[in-house]
A = this chain, B = another copy of it.
Amino acid sequence: MATGRTHRPATRSRGIPEATVARLPLYLRALTALSERSVPTVSSEELAAAAGVNSAKLRKDFSYLGSYGTRGVGYDVEYLVYQISRELGLTQDWPVVIVGIGNLGAALANYGGFASRGFRVAALIDADPSMAGKPVAGLRVKHTDELEAIIEDNGVSIGVIATPAGAAQQVCDRLVAAGVTSILNFAPTVLSVPDGVDVRKVDLSIELQILAFHEQRKAGEEALAAPARPAPAVRGGTAGGKGPDGDVPAVMPA
């Protein structure tokens, strides 16, 4: 998504491709599971299967980190866990604030995987004064007034936005002004941020729409073969002969 940097064309050998970075957490998870089962080594084939990618891709990904494998043998699990953790910056402690403690914010706060790997919820922040002081996931919710102080005092550089769409940009601006340089946005809005600030977004609605696109394709291809399952009814019912959509305008300009 929005990568703030000036995007220099891989100045030295230091540049790990973005696509690779996005897969490192996947490898790390698979490796951690192996580590817990005390498996000493894995082949690229096995690890790739566990991470849900193909082995050529995995080997190429690892080649950007260095030559951490042993030919004819595979990779040392513990060593790889360490190298990937370090590369991802998980040997540091990252305090995180969550802003917007509604249903979703509370769910995120309660999410276990949060604390496990280098991330620590420094504070939960909400604009509703009646939320302030209430315990959520073992923390007391703070009021938005305290946002700047919390970020400063805890050296927070990562913020999670789980507010309604309308409040997101404003919250984002305050986070950035207070020193946050990475934002994970759950609100269904495009955030604008200055250069040097990274934003990643998680959007249920977008994901569903992408799935719907592919579903529709499948339904089309199905028509070539047998109509196996009852296809989802076209809006407004199967029978209707005329324009069925109450939602989608039938406007046709030009």
Contact = CB atoms under 8 A, between A and B. Distances in A.
* Copies per assembly: 2
Contacts of A28: 209
Interface stretch (A56-64, A101-109, A127-135): A101-109
Interface of A is mostly: mixed
Given A78-B253, A213-B89, A95 B202 contact: no
A110 interface: yes
Contacts of A158: 208, 211-212, 215
A139 interface: no
Interface residues of A, number: 93
A248 interface: yes
A214 B198 contact: yes
Nearest 8 CB-CB pairings of A with B: A89-B216, A52-B190, A103-B107, A182-B211, A78-B251, A25-B209, A25-B206, A89-B212
